[in-house]
């Protein structure tokens, strides 16, 4: 989880590969209306995100589902929607400054999400620190370090 550009897709893919889990790209499940809204520079509202989060929660809660999901999950209530049917769910929060996020998003070409929307991501973001099952990582660390940290955390929590 985290704002646009924090590295969810990059780290999600690396972890899924390392752990032999399926990767579910949350962004692939946005409705055409949501995609169009973001593309035209309008931030999504709670109402816009509700059906998307409910769909992702259902996917996570499918029996036998063992997967890595990339999802912005910016607010506590959004994370609680995802947790509802999946009590073992863990979140990795990739923490990045607004200026670094804007730089990363602006450097991407052909992506639906414009750099002008980065500020709204930070206005919506509620830091998950202190919620159950959360690992906070500095998103500027090298990808392989981040992947090591996630895997070590997961293994430790399974063994505990």
Ligand X SMILES: Nc1ncnc2c1ncn2[C@@H]1O[C@H](COP(=O)(O)OP(=O)(O)OP(=O)(O)O)[C@@H](O)[C@H]1O
x-or-dash string of contact with ligand GCO, 28-47, rule CB under 6 A: ----------------x---
Residue 10 touches which of ligand GCO, ligand X, none (Cβ within 5-8 Å per kind): ligand X
Cβ(93)–Cβ(23) under 8 Å? Answer: no
Position among 1, 27, 57, 137 found at the interface with ligand GCO (CB under 6 A):
27
83 binds ligand X (CB under 6 A): no
| Least separation in angstroms between CB 41 and ligand X | 14
37 binds ligand X (CB under 6 A): no
Cβ(120)–Cβ(74) under 8 Å? Answer: no
The piece of 1-9, 33-41, 58-66, 124-132 that touches ligand X (CB under 6 A) is 1-9
**3-state SS track over the chain:** CCCCCCCHHHHHHHHHHHHCCEEEEHHHHCCHHHHHHHHCCCCCCHHHHHHHHHHHHHHHHCCCCCEEEECCCCCHHHHHHHHHCCCCCCEEEEECCHHHHHHHHHHCCCCCCCHHHHHHHHHHCCCCCCCCCEEEEECCCCHHHHHHHHHHHHHHHHHC
49 binds ligand GCO (CB under 6 A): yes
Structure tokens, 138:
């500095």
Cβ(28)–Cβ(150) under 8 Å? Answer: no
Position among 78, 91, 93, 113 found at the interface with ligand X (CB under 6 A):
113
Residue 91 touches which of ligand X, ligand GCO, none (Cβ within 5-8 Å per kind): none
The piece of 28-36, 85-93, 127-135, 138-146 that touches ligand X (CB under 6 A) is 138-146
Site for ligand GCO in 111-140 (CB under 6 A): 113, 121
Number of residues that bind ligand X (CB under 6 A): 18
Position among 72, 91, 96, 139 found at the interface with ligand GCO (CB under 6 A):
72
């Amino acid at each position: 989880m985290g704002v646009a550009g924090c590295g969810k897709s990059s780290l999600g893919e690396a972890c899924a590969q390392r752990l032999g889990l399926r990767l579910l790209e949350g962004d692939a499940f946005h409705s055409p209306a949501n995609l169009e809204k973001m593309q035209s520079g309008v931030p999504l509202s709670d109402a816009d995100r509700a059906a998307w989060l409910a769909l992702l929660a259902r996917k996570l809660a499918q029996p036998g589902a063992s997967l890595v999901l990339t999802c912005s999950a910016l607010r506590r209530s959004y994370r609680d929607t995802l947790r509802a049917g999946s009590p073992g769910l863990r979140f990795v929060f990739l923490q990045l400054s607004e200026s670094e996020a804007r730089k990363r998003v602006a450097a991407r070409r052909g992506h639906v999400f414009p750099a002008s929307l980065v500020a709204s991501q930070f206005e919506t973001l509620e830091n998950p620190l202190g919620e159950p099952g959360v690992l906070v990582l500095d998103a500027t660390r090298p990808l392989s370090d981040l992947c090591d940290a996630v895997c070590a955390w997961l293994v430790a929590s399974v063994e505990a």
